[in-house]
């Protein structure tokens, strides 16, 4: 579509620009409140002012900025006075380290919505991923040193790759486009932490906002140095995987309700544990999730440590037992990512195994326990998912 020609500044526009300089911004905003500007600015002279303030100074009725069509009409109305209305994210895009107390503050500045965790600001091509530790999504802790998991879009029921937020991230993955990662710790503020790229995505298993088990899209994000930096060379292959796979109809047992122990073990044993790409070893997320769920099924509600004095009475925020699934022989020391080398431990027993003064002895005990419990589970084929 051809952009309309910008006419000369109208008399009203010239007067409004002079008024900003004459009375100052504080008095200008008191006289022409910016409420409802929805992340759009209009230049009056050398100053960018919220769209509603500009409209009021021009003698116009309040602008309707609630959807794309109404925003386009508002742009044309402003354009009649020789001015361009543009998104704040274009005039003054978010900067690394920028903080906001809540999503309402972010919407007030840049527009967009308050609910979805995966959004684009109006007029901006860049996807924003919001991670709130007090929210309903069980995102992985983010890190700048390695890829991490970010849960997809959808609060209730099974998630779908075709939901609006997930479609945005899938497009970013296929285009290898940078995304903004925002994070809010418990009791803290939202901070634009870093630029990321989408490395891959796979199905995970979690609990929705209503406390029901459900399938979730887990996006693998990797920090990059800036919006134009691109992925490290040894991760580029991952972002190109499965460009047309219909994930909604290709779900392994690791992301299904009530998988059997045997199904999960079969799943992980028929997939390669690692794939070597150039100088990096990459683990298969679906395989790792299958191994973890198998261990949790096997443990039920009880810590698998023989020296455990009792599970905590507290539960996780999703209502599950407070387990830490641990590799007896560390993966970094070539331990297997397999239930025969994994145990579900309560926090105290996990600390004793990793940091206690009898850690070596505990590790030997747990290696035997893991093997025995795995062999017993293969015979019994438990069918109770956690």
Can you give the pLDDT at residue 3? 56
Can you give the pLDDT at residue 239? 45
Decide if pLDDT at 279 tops 70.
no
Segment 320-327 mean pLDDT: 90
Can you give the pLDDT at residue 275? 62
Can you give the pLDDT at residue 277? 54
Integer Cα distance of 161 and 141 in angstroms: 22
Q: How much is the mean pLDDT over the chain? A: 87
Where would I find the H helices in 40-128? 51-57, 68-79, 88-91, 103-110
Can you give the pLDDT at residue 1? 47
Segment 263-287 mean pLDDT: 76
Segment 325-348 mean pLDDT: 92
Beta-bridge partner residues of 151? 218
Decide if pLDDT at 384 tops 50.
no
Can you give the pLDDT at residue 146? 83
Can you give the pLDDT at residue 242? 47
Confidence of residue 138 (pLDDT cuts 50, 70, 90): confident
Integer Cα distance of 116 and 104 in angstroms: 12
Q: Rounded to 5 degrees, what angle do the CA atoms 239, 241, 246 make?
A: 120
Decide if pLDDT at 62 tops 90.
yes
Segment 236-261 mean pLDDT: 67
Question: Which residues make Cβ contacts (< 8 Å) with residue 29, sequence separation at least 6?
Answer: 49, 50, 53
The total number of residues written for the chain in this structure: 386
Q: Would you call 386 helix, strand, or coil by DSSP?
A: coil
pTM above 0.75, yes or no: no
Bigger pLDDT: 340 vs 199: 340
Can you give the pLDDT at residue 251? 81
Can you give the pLDDT at residue 381? 61
Which of 5-19, 47-61, 107-121, 259-273 shows the highest mean pLDDT?
47-61
Decide if pLDDT at 346 tops 80.
yes
Cα separation values, 349 from 300, 306, 309, 337, Å? 16, 9, 9, 20
Q: Is 225 exposed, middle or buried (0-12, 13-18, 19+ CB in 10 A)?
A: exposed
Decide if pLDDT at 329 tops 60.
yes
195-205: string of b/e by CB count within 10 Å (b at 16+)?
bbbbbbbbbbb
Segment 56-67 mean pLDDT: 91
Q: Would you call 336 helix, strand, or coil by DSSP?
A: coil
Q: What percent of the chain has pLDDT over 90?
A: 55
Can you give the pLDDT at residue 82? 94
Number of Cβ within a 10 Å radius of residue 228: 8
Can you give the pLDDT at residue 265? 94
pLDDT digits (tens, 9 = 90+) for 215-241: 999 999 999 999 988 776 656 555 444
Decide if pLDDT at 339 tops 50.
yes
Decide if pLDDT at 386 tops 60.
no
Question: Which residues make Cβ contacts (< 8 Å) with residue 200, sequence separation at least 6?
Answer: 147, 173, 219, 220, 238, 239, 241, 285
Segment 16-34 mean pLDDT: 94
The DSSP output letter for 229 is -
Segment 269-287 mean pLDDT: 71
Confidence of residue 179 (pLDDT cuts 50, 70, 90): very high
Can you give the pLDDT at residue 241? 46
């Amino acid at each position: 579509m051809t952009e309309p020609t910008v006419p000369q500044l109208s008399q009203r526009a010239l007067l409004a620009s002079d008024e900003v300089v004459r009375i100052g911004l504080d008095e200008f905003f008191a006289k022409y409140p910016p409420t409802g500007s929805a992340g759009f600015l209009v230049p009056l002279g050398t100053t960018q002012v919220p769209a509603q303030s500009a409209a009021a100074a021009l003698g116009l009725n309040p602008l309707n900025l609630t959807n794309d069509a109404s925003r386009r009409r508002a742009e044309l109305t402003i354009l009649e006075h020789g001015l361009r209305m543009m998104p704040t994210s274009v005039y003054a895009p978010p900067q690394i380290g920028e903080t906001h107390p809540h999503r309402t503050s972010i919407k007030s500045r840049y527009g967009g919505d308050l609910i979805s965790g995966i959004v684009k600001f109006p007029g901006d091509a860049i996807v924003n991923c919001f991670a709130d530790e007090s929210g309903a999504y069980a995102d992985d802790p983010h890190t700048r040193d390695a890829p991490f998991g970010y849960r997809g879009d959808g609060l209730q029921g099974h998630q779908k790759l075709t939901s609006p937020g997930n479609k945005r991230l899938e497009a970013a993955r296929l285009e290898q486009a940078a995304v903004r990662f925002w994070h809010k710790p418990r009791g803290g503020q939202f901070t634009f932490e870093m630029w990321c790229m989408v490395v891959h995505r796979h199905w995970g298993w979690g609990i929705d906002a209503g406390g029901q088990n459900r399938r979730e899209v887990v996006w693998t994000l990797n920090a990059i140095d800036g919006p134009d930096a691109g992925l490290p060379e040894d991760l580029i292959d991952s972002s190109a995987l499965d460009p047309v796979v219909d994930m909604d109809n290709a779900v392994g047992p690791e992301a299904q309700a009530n998988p059997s122990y045997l199904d999960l073990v079969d799943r992980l044993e028929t997939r390669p544990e690692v794939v070597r790409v150039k100088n990096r070893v990459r683990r298969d997320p679906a395989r790792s999730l299958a191994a973890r769920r198998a261990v949790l099924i096997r443990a039920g509600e009880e810590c698998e440590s023989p020296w455990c004095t009792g599970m905590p009475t507290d539960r996780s925020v999703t209502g599950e037992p407070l387990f830490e699934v641990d590799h007896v022989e560390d993966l970094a020391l070539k331990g297997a990512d397999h239930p025969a080398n994994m145990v579900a431990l309560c926090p105290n027993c996990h600390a004793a195994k990793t940091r206690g003064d009898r850690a070596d002895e505990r590790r030997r005990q747990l290696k035997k326990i893991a093997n025995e419990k795995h062999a017993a589970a293969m015979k019994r084929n438990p069918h109770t998912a956690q």
